[in-house]
Chains A and B, each alone.
Chain A
Amino acid sequence: MGMIESIRGLVASAGRPLRLMEVCGTHTVAIFRHGIRDLLPHDIKLLSGPGCPVCVTSVKDVDTVIALAKEKDVIITTFGDMMRVPGNRQSLFDAKAEGCDIRIVYSPLDALKLAEANSKKKVVFFGTGFETTSPLVAGTLAEAELQRVNNLFIYSVHKTVPPALKCLLEDPDVLIDGLILPGHVTTIIGIAPYDFLVRDYNKPSVVTGFDATDILLGILMLVRQIVQGGAFVENQYARVVRDNGNPRAVALLNQFFEPEDVYWRGIGMIPLSGLRLREEYRHRDIMHTVHVTVPDGQEPKACSCGDVLKGIKVPADCALFGNACTPEKPVGACMVSAEGSCAAYFKYSVARRMNHIC
């Protein structure tokens, strides 16, 4: 296979181990599913980044949504993978089992339909996700405004990728030679928001697709940049990602949302990395209609998720991994979602099985 040989050759000429971070959880899973680590030289370390929106949703946000679900005449809707995320005391699944009306939807538009069908109830969409999913929520709100469906609300924990990357690169403990940038997010935001990676941090970066060949080619392009001493934002996924992204989706997103400082589970507060509703659409914010307060959530002790999300540790370095923390009973954020790096390591890693880590 030509690509793999080329990668080997380049890595050999680099003469040192190269640390590459795949930012996006979908990449983490795809890398395992295609067995890509087995094909790469040992001197390439692939680190999983903070790009799993479920994982970085804070304990307090989960608790707040559960508190909302316990209010009268509230229906909570969310994507399925939020259901198992542990809050302080309960997950949404636990609350549903206790009788709260919580429903899994495949699209925020399903929440709109539900609101139309239940005009006496407040239908809340618990919106998680990065720039890939948030425009859908904006589109749904636009539709709700147009059709005057006044009982559709959102609880937004939407986050954005570039501020998180900036936060990572500011951390002196984070050692990354290059970034595998998320193809789907970039489909929306385009290339320009990553300019700072080169300008301020001199980091080679490649926007990469999700097939096995996409990922290998992305790695090859990245390694070539590193070895040749360059730093650019390259686009491996040009068949889908246009340099200017999807301006309509971005405009829709900006019409409804504005940046705010938000807390990322495992990482902490990241300036301007969240999306809240703009003043003129606050009536869609459930927190302006129903008032609930919950105590600040505690991050589980001994959990290394913060370091895993920053690529400082790999999951097996964590004392809890595979023992106290498993996909059935997740402790930390990264074990929660199927796209979390700990869950992916736990589920797919041949090395884990061979070493009988658990």
Chain B
Amino acid sequence: MDRIQLSHGGGGRLMHCLINDFFVPAFEMSSLNDAAVVAWQASGRIALTTDSYVVSPYFFPGGDIGLLAVCGTVNDLAMVGAKPLYMTAGFILEEGLPFEELERVLASMQRVSEDIGVRIVAGDTKVVEKGKGDGIYINTTGVGIIPGGISLSPQQIQPGDKVIISGSIGNHGIAVMAERSGISFDPPLVSDVCPLNGLVDHMLGTTKDIRVMRDPTRGGVATTLNEFAIGSGYCMTVYEETVKVRSAVQGACDLLGLDPLYVANEGVLIAVVAPAVAEDLVAEMRKTTAGADAFIAGEVTNSPPHTVLYKTLMGGNRIIDMLSGEQLPRIC
């Protein structure tokens, strides 16, 4: 038997075999109690996040749904300054899923969680009838701790602050969409999916003057900048000439009628920081793998309020609005 059957989710012997053969070795499920019991630190605030992953296809250039599920949740914790400690993982598997594919997904979750130092301590599995799912869906919940003295939010943004982006944009969304639409690139275009907690550690260790950080996933850089503009009440002014977009990504965007500013990223963060520290911080970020292509993209100004303004290469202006209803394939 090499595929998931409905009875693997039935609560009986087959389900126990599935858990013992696949999930227990991949994760740290030392006891099969329904709730994990873990050690805790006394100081700091708790950060808690949950996210579901339905990306199609679930293997894509540069990653898979498992890698995405761990990185996505770890990154959500990292963006509020939390050190990720524990995670849970819930799986919804479609009848007929090959075990070999499940194994590959679990292996990549195991590998990246060990690299990050986050422990996957509890999980759940359900099986749905063939046709009722899309192979594999994963929900991850993460818990982390925010050390004292760290408080990040858009309300702390001040006019004059600088906007930093940690790398070239649009890679994840385009890698997934290109895979779906059968477009190939030479050299291949790969997703940027990666954990950002190491980069964030380094940034917080470098300066105290970071106002806010966020990873521009669904909706892309445009949406995150709008969240900053709305949250702070100021204008985020970004210069087209500074924004890094790989030429293959730009080409694919032109072909598919997309704007890279709205395309999802899974290994990029945007930070707003005090102007005095911006250049040094970018230099420090570039010493890390995740931040090797970091750049200053623009600054915060007073007017027009609640707005993202884009200074084009030609010297013109354009508004970068929230995404409104453009249909994109599932990419996260």
Contacts and interface: CB of A to CB of B under 8 A. Distances in A.
B181 interface: yes
B313 interface: yes
A283 interface: no
Interface stretch (A56-64, A258-266, A348-356): A348-356
Residue among B259, B312, B329 with the most chain A CB within 10 A?
B312
A38 B316 contact: yes
Contacts of B317: 35, 38, 350
Interface string B314-332: 1111110100111101000
A39 B316 contact: yes
Nearest to B329: A104
A204 B181 CA distance: 40
A144 B315 CA distance: 48
B307 interface: yes
A32 interface: yes
Nearest to A327: B324
Contact of B327 (A1, A35, A104, A354): A104
B257 A338 contact: yes
Nearest to B309: A350
A353 B307 contact: yes
Interface in A213-246: 216
A34 B309 CA distance: 12
Given A84-B325, A104-B327, A327-B325, A38 B315 contact: yes
A35 B321 contact: no
B133 interface: no
B312 A34 contact: yes
B313 A33 contact: no
Contacts of A328: 324-325
A313 interface: no
Contact of A84 (B181, B311, B327): B327
Contact of A212 (B314, B325, B329): B314
B285 to A, nearest CB: 29
Contacts of A327: 324-325
A353 B319 contact: yes
Contacts of A338: 257, 326
Interface residues of B, number: 24
B98 interface: no
B10 interface: no
A74 B39 CA distance: 57
B256 interface: yes
B304 interface: yes
Interface in B233-289: 256-257, 259
Nearest to A39: B316
Interface in B288-318: 304, 307, 309-318
B304 A39 contact: no
B325 A33 contact: no
A107 B255 CA distance: 12
B314 A39 contact: yes
B326 A348 contact: no
Given A350-B309, A353-B304, A353-B307, A32 B318 contact: yes
Contact of A39 (B181, B259, B315): B315
B309 A36 contact: no
A80 B327 contact: yes
B313 A354 contact: no
Interface string A310-336: 000000000000000011100000000
Nearest to A35: B316
Contacts of A38: 315-317
Contact of B318 (A93, A104, A350): A350
19 contacts: A1-B315, A33-B259, A34-B313, A35-B316, A35-B317, A36-B314, A36-B316, A38-B315, A38-B317, A81-B327, A84-B325, A93-B327, A212-B314, A326-B324, A338-B257, A338-B326, A347-B321, A350-B319, A353-B307
Interface of A: 1, 32-39, 80-81, 83-84, 93, 104, 106-107, 212, 216, 326-328, 338, 346-350, 352-354
Given A34-B316, A81-B257, 13 more contacts: A34-B314, A35-B316, A36-B314, A106-B182, A107-B181, A212-B312, A212-B313, A326-B324, A328-B324, A347-B324, A348-B321, A350-B309, A353-B319
Instruction: Please give me the 6 A-B residue pairs with the lowest Cβ-Cβ distance, nearest first.
Output: A35-B316, A327-B324, A38-B316, A35-B312, A106-B181, A212-B314
